[in-house]
């Protein structure tokens, strides 16, 4: 099961609200927090990070807030995860605190790296538009015509 951290969850929730609004609509962090019942400080930090990376655009002034700067079809789930969680490394064994304390004796580094690489590639192909607004059956295990083949993507024979 995929675990989504709170910052990623708040980013996705905010972007879904923004994607449901009319194009160029402005929404404040307070409006997002009130609608979603998310904590203001964390949501504000996530919005600032997305602004810094060009996902949303900050509008200054009395009627300021945020607007989508990039189309949801051009934003991937993995991109938002990396922005929200400030992930700089794709190494599963590496975190912001350094290498796992079992790294020197671990016997599954290669299989875990392989799995991580395949999952990251898969999540890097899913746009937020697909995630939020398309039919839940967009992926087919066997690769039905016009749908990504999940087995192929994950290297399953």
pLDDT digits (tens, 9 = 90+) for 135-151: 544 444 455 555 555 55
- The pLDDT of residue 137: 47
Torsion of Cα atoms, 103 then 105 then 109 then 110, to 10°: 140
* Domains parsed from the chain with CATH numbers: 6-87 (1.10.10.10)
Mean pLDDT of the chain: 83
Per-residue pLDDT, averaged over 114-143, amounts to: 76
Does the pLDDT value for residue 61 go beyond 60? yes
In the chain, the percentage of residues whose pLDDT exceeds 90 is 48
pLDDT at 141: 47
pLDDT at 156 over 80: no
**Cα distance between residue 115 and residue 49, in whole Å:** 28
Q: What is d(CA 51, CA 46) in angstroms, rounded to the nearest whole number?
A: 9
């Amino acid at each position: 099961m995929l675990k989504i951290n709170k910052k990623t969850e708040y980013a996705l929730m905010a972007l879904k609200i923004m994607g449901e609004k009319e194009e160029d609509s402005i929404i404040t962090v307070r409006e997002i927090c009130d609608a979603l019942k998310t904590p203001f400080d964390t949501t504000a930090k996530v919005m600032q990070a997305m602004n810094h990376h060009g996902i949303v655009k900050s509008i200054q002034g009395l009627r300021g807030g945020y607007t989508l700067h990039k189309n949801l079809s051009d934003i991937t789930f993995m991109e938002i995860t990396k922005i929200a969680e400030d992930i700089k490394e794709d190494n599963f064994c590496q975190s912001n605190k350094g290498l796992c304390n079992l790294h020197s004796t671990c016997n599954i580094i290669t299989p875990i790296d392989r799995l991580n690489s395949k999952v990251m590639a898969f999540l890097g192909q899913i746009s937020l538009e697909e995630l939020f607004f398309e039919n839940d059956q967009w992926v087919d295990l066997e690769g039905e015509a016009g749908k990504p083949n999940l087995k192929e993507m994950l290297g399953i024979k």
